Amino acid sequence: MQAALMRTRIAIVGAGPAGLMLAHLLYLRGIDAVVLERRSQEYVERRVRAGVLEHPTVELLREAGVADRLDREGMPHHGLSLRFDGEDHRIALADLTGRSITVYGQQEVVKDLIAARRKTGEPLHFEVSDVAIDVDAPAVTFTDAEGKPQRLDCDFVVGCDGSHGVSRASMPAATYAHEYPFAWLGVLAKAPPSHSELIYTYHERGFALHSMRSPEITRLYLQVPPDERLDDWSDGRIWDELGRRLAASGFTLSTGPILEKSITTMRSVVTEPMRHGRLFLAGDAAHIVPPTGAKGMNLAIADVRVLAEALERYFASGSTDLLDAYSDTCLRRVWRAEHFSWWMTSMLHQAPDADAFQRRLQLSQLRYVATSTAAATSLAENYVGL
């Protein structure tokens, strides 16, 4: 069957936060785009991922007119706690930086952006398959949800389809990667948060994190070995281990039915450059960070903000200066986030081969951050977003 021909300025592969946000920013600038996604809309909207939005991310969502529900339901946080030696040590984000973070699930951002896209009536195709990128044309070929072959000619292709997507595979670039010797067992529980803020916990049994998604839903994590089996973790065992690691004076862990649980391995990956000809990468297609620093979705949003401005300049004046600078501009932020995430991860997790000397170094670093205004400010300004 001969492919049907379509034409757009920007072909966007992937309907995660990066792809959907870019499409919306381009729409606001009068630049047409088509978004292609291999998963169903239901799957994309239910996919539980990150939940911490940096200050610049929240500001951009507001500027773009897609923050109404975020402002109603998001949970602003002006600080976080480092918990070690059985005590909390608060990092006063707002006092130290004048900015804060907001807890609002990535899937909620995705829902809001899909709703905005549907409202505009601009093309958004789910359940496509056989996606292939012709970088030289440029063009994207795919099979639509009805099984019909399609060819989408365009001026530029933007790959927002993750580290295992077709976009990254179409990019002849260098990859820098680091594997961490542990994973996170994450649970979503129907239980009210046990604390008003996020708690990053250093414990001899391994790292633990207390977070939340709403006043009724808690998000919690445990450090586990990367080859751990989810079947070995009953709900009772999860709550028992969380209770041990999160124990502190005056703290009571709220428990309830576990709605979801998963194990996620931890790695750092950076692709350089983030551009090849008329193909650009954004978000997880270009870089992966361990979740400790809460940077993944925020980096994706930062990428497409830079790219939207560059594309606007190009179509308005023909100037390629911002497009040519895109990779270098984004990578400066990416490597800062990679270092911060590595630093947070190294400070808080128990490496399997760590000896007593290394553990004492970790505690020394934690105590320094907790008692030094300069060290706390460095953590805070990286955490709320540069």
pLDDT in tens, 250-282: 999 999 999 999 999 999 999 999 999 999 999
Choosing from 180, 200, 314, 326, which is the catalytic residue? 200
Rounded CA separation 177/218 (Å): 31
pLDDT of 134: 97
Q: Residues 113-137: what's their mean pLDDT?
A: 97
Position 365 confidence tier, pLDDT thresholds 50, 70, 90: very high
Choosing from 17, 24, 55, 77, which is the catalytic residue? 77
Position 381 confidence tier, pLDDT thresholds 50, 70, 90: very high
Pairing of strands 258-272, 174-189: antiparallel
> What residue has token string 């549907």?
118
Percentage of the chain beyond pLDDT 90 is: 95
Rounded CA separation 209/203 (Å): 11
Catalytic site includes residue 291: yes
Q: Can you list the domains of the chain with their CATH numbers?
A: 4-76+105-176+267-344 (3.50.50.60), 182-266+352-384 (3.30.9.10)
Q: Pseudo-torsion of CA 53, 56, 61, 62, nearest 10°?
A: 120
pLDDT of 46: 87
Decide: residue 123, CB within 10 A, 0-12 exposed, 13-18 middle, 19+ buried.
middle
pLDDT of 51: 87
Residue 201 has pLDDT above 70, yes or no: yes
C-alpha 238: how far from its chain's center?
Answer: 25
Position 2 confidence tier, pLDDT thresholds 50, 70, 90: low
Position 149 confidence tier, pLDDT thresholds 50, 70, 90: very high
Paired with 101 in beta bridges are 77
Catalytic site includes residue 200: yes
Catalytic site includes residue 27: no
C-alpha separations of 135 from 70, 164, 168, 192, 306 in Å: 37, 18, 12, 49, 21
